[in-house]
């Protein structure tokens, strides 16, 4: 089905989350999310001074941690 002009294409931009949004989703503190991102445990993007998380990338990372028994 072709895209309509009034409906933007789905993209990973639609999945961008702030550290607070991710903390709320994971039921942890924002500082924990930021620490895990700095340590490379959670994938993130730096956009200028801001860190953002792609929801599907984080879900994949959490699933991988679970599979590896962490």
- Each residue's pLDDT tens digit in the chain (70 positions)? 555 555 555 677 789 999 999 999 999 999 999 999 999 999 999 999 999 999 999 999 999 888 987 6
Domain assignment present for residue 45? The answer is yes
- Number of structural domains (the chain) is 1
Q: Is the pTM of this model over 0.85?
A: no
53 and 42 in contact (C-beta within 8 Å)? Answer: yes
Q: Which domain holds residue 52?
A: 15-67
For the chain, the straight-line distance linking the first and the last C-alpha, in angstroms and rounded, comes to 42
pLDDT digits 0-9 by tens, 44-58: 999 999 999 999 999
Exposed, middle or buried, 33 (CB in 10 Å: 0-12/13-18/19+)?
Answer: buried
- Token output for 65: 């941690």
Domain assignment present for residue 27? The answer is yes
């Amino acid at each position: 089905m072709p895209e309509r002009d009034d409906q933007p294409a789905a993209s990973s931009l639609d999945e961008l989350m702030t550290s607070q949004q991710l903390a709320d989703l994971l039921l942890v503190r924002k500082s924990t999310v930021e620490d895990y991102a700095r340590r490379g445990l959670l994938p993130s993007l730096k956009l200028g001074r801001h860190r953002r998380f792609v929801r599907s990338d984080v879900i994949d990372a959490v699933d991988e941690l679970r599979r590896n028994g962490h």
